Amino acid sequence: MVRRLLPIAIAALLALPAVASAYTPREHPLYQDGPSGRYLLDHGWSSSASQSGRFRPVSIPNAFNARDHTTKGNRSRVQWYRERFTLPRTSGAAGWRLRFESVNVRADVWLNGRKIGSHVGAYLPFELPATGIRRGSNELLVRVDGRKERGDIPPAGRSQGWWNYGGILREVYLRKVYRVDLGDPQVTTTIGDPARVAVKAQVRGSGGNARLDVSGPNGFGKTVTVPVAELPTTGASLEVPSPQLWSPSSPALYTMKITAPRGQVTTIHFGFRQWGKAPDGTPLLNGQPLRLRGASFHEDLLQPSTVADELHALGANFTRQHYPPSPELLEAFDRMGIVMWEQIPVWRLRGSDLTRLNRVILGRLRQTILRDRNHASVMAWSVENEVVRPGSQESAFLTRARGATKRLDPTRYFAVDQTVTPGGKLPAYYDKLDALGISEYVGWYGNDPISDVRPALDATRAQLPGVALFVTEFGAEANRPGPASVKGTYAFQAQWLDQQLSAMDATPYLGGAIVWLLRDYAVRPGWSGGNPRPSPPFSKKGLLNLQGKPKPAWSVAKTHFGLRSSSG
């Protein structure tokens, strides 16, 4: 009955008086890479908890349960969003599409009373054809359902390691579609003198030649042309003499602009660099050993650039998040020389979940790689994090995930993140990995002494000879003053991190270490995180508190990060 009545309710909603006059969006993408013709829908949004309720003005991004840190809030619900806009006056448009950078979890979208599509899954973009768009005023309506289901990742029924914020979590664009429309560009580089850069792209439309303009450091500039029909197959390539290599200490970037017939211009920033391994598994960048240090983050702030600024202030050149970050952040990492260990949101699933959700997981992995494979800062594709009860189902999943990853991008590490404990055993099939992200909390959870950190790392290396090793998670809660002997105090966190980082600084085969985490955040109701006096639902393992103020451990980490020598 509800499904039958829904179109009637929507029609009634669209007939309601406007909450704001329509405006004309401007071509203003918040990140540089991608096609021209992206018009930011950043004014005139309103929202309501029901389709027949009162719509109140909101800004996008918007998490409708951002202030409700209760069990009910984390479970989430349905929220409606409405936007009125005037179609921009522009020539050469063969059509229009609506692009959402991230909606959690389900989106049903109507344009001028007509449903144009649906999408499931956060943290990655989706586009829908703007069917029925018209000159003059248009009305966009979005129903967002933030409730998890069993087929989602992370799925309902499993603990989630970050708050289930529902809503339109990143920006929305009205995208102009040209008669020749390029998608999924892939830039590959080969270092040497001269170096080579090649590009392929999918093409909608046909006819004519595309022009490739490449520019870069020291006044480099070069132009080639290629038939549009060749871009998906043979592509185009050119030589770059004496290239400047990208690294954390010298993040040199080049710019490629692909001008298609009839006007579309696609911009791509890229770097010449090569991730590799020594015969003993020591990770290398451009032939030099890696010594990276940094902190993880959750994208809980309205301004993604804040994360990059805080990492820079910490002296970090390494970071990680449990799900794909905003493109705006990745571009900042490219420019600032901050290496990204990229993951899809497969956290603490069981081996049986990897089988049951295999198609969904591999689909998200493919989307992530296609979106982010041109970013110089991305070092690894991590396909799972802390899987429990693994066994043969995990082994089969890793075989499929490795095949998919290497087909789409063979230039980066294929990786997983897994918990390591003193005396623990890792699966033999982890030899399929290029790199392992070690999650370790020696001296925090349990009663193992902090002196067991180096033996645990050495034991891991002995079990996986030839696999590049990174510590991608270690941290301690801190939410109050008190003596260093008491867990949960600022002094304990500072001392514990000093001991951990000292052990890692003295481990030569370790490619990097990432503190968990940069800033305190909301996890889930009842969270304790090993803290005898916790602050649920918040994790207080951050170097910064919820307001962005440094704890004593910030200075400890910054000092250690300043001592490390990154590859040049």
Q: Give DSSP secondary structure letters for 44-59.
A: SEEEESSTTS--EE--
Give me 87's structure tokens.
Answer: 């179609």
Which pTM was predicted? 0.95
Q: What is the mean predicted confidence (pLDDT) over 501-510?
A: 97
CA proximity to 345, closest of 322, 378, 320, 369: 322
Predicted pLDDT at 14: 38
For residue range 249-281, list pLDDT tens digits in order: 999 999 999 999 989 999 999 999 999 999 999
Beta strands at 172-177 and 95-100: parallel, antiparallel or unpaired: antiparallel
Q: What is the mean predicted confidence (pLDDT) over 383-396?
A: 95
Predicted pLDDT at 160: 87
Angle between helices 327-336 and 305-314 in degrees, nearest 10: 30
Predicted pLDDT at 16: 38
Tell me the backbone φ, ψ of residue 26, rounded to 5 degrees.
Answer: -110, 155
Predicted pLDDT at 220: 98
Q: Which residues on adjacent β-strands are paired with residue 413?
A: 380
Predicted pLDDT at 263: 92
Amino acid identity of residue 286, one-letter, is N
For residue range 354-370, list pLDDT tens digits in order: 999 999 999 999 999 99
Q: What is the mean predicted confidence (pLDDT) over 474-497?
A: 98
Q: What percent of the chain lies above the pLDDT cut of 90?
A: 92
Q: What is the mean pLDDT of the chain?
A: 94
Predicted pLDDT at 90: 95
Confidence grade of residue 159 (pLDDT, cut at 50, 70, 90): confident
Amino acid identity of residue 105, one-letter, is V
In 3-state terms the chain splits into helix, strand, coil percentages (rounded to 5) of 25, 35, 45
For residue range 304-355, list pLDDT tens digits in order: 999 999 999 999 999 999 999 999 999 999 999 999 999 999 999 999 999 9
Residue 402: count of CB within 10 angstroms of its CB: 16
- Please name the residue that has the structure tokens 């586009």: 127
Predicted pLDDT at 513: 98
Strand order from edge to edge, sheet including 254-259: 34-35, 265-270, 254-259, 209-216, 220-227
Sign of CA pseudo-dihedral 545, 248, 322, 62: positive
Maximum Cα interatomic distance, the chain, rounded to a whole number of Å = 72
One-character DSSP codes across 478-537: EEE---TTSTEEHHHHHHHHHHHHHHHHT-TTEEEEEES-SB-EE--TT--TT-SS-BTT
Q: Which residues on adjacent β-strands are paired with residue 97?
A: 129, 175
Which long-range contacts (C-beta less than 8 Å, at least 24 apart) are formed by 185-189?
185/258, 185/266, 185/268, 185/374, 186/373, 186/374, 186/409, 187/256, 187/268, 187/270, 187/374, 188/411, 189/270, 189/271, 189/272, 189/273
Q: Is the pLDDT of residue 17 over 60?
A: no
Q: Cis omega before residue 154 (within 30°)? A: yes
For residue range 118-136, list pLDDT tens digits in order: 999 999 999 999 999 999 9
Predicted pLDDT at 157: 87
Q: How far is CA 319 from each of CA 316, 510, 512, rounded to the nearest angstrom?
A: 8, 15, 10
For residue range 274-308, list pLDDT tens digits in order: 999 999 999 999 999 999 999 999 999 889 999 99
Q: Give me the half-sphere count of Cα atoms (radius 13 Å) on the Cβ side of residue 61.
A: 23
One-character DSSP codes across 235-289: -EEEEESSPPBEETTEE--EEEEEE-TTS-EEEEEE-B--EEE-TT--EEETTEE
Q: Is the pLDDT of residue 53 over 80?
A: yes
Q: Is the pLDDT of residue 246 over 70?
A: yes
For residue range 202-243, list pLDDT tens digits in order: 999 988 999 999 999 999 999 999 999 999 999 999 999 999
Poorest-pLDDT segment among 21-30, 58-67, 360-369, 516-525: 21-30
* Helix (H) / strand (E) containing 190: strand 181-190
Sketch out the chain's domains with CATH numbers.
2-177 (2.60.120.260), 181-270 (2.60.40.10), 275-563 (3.20.20.80)
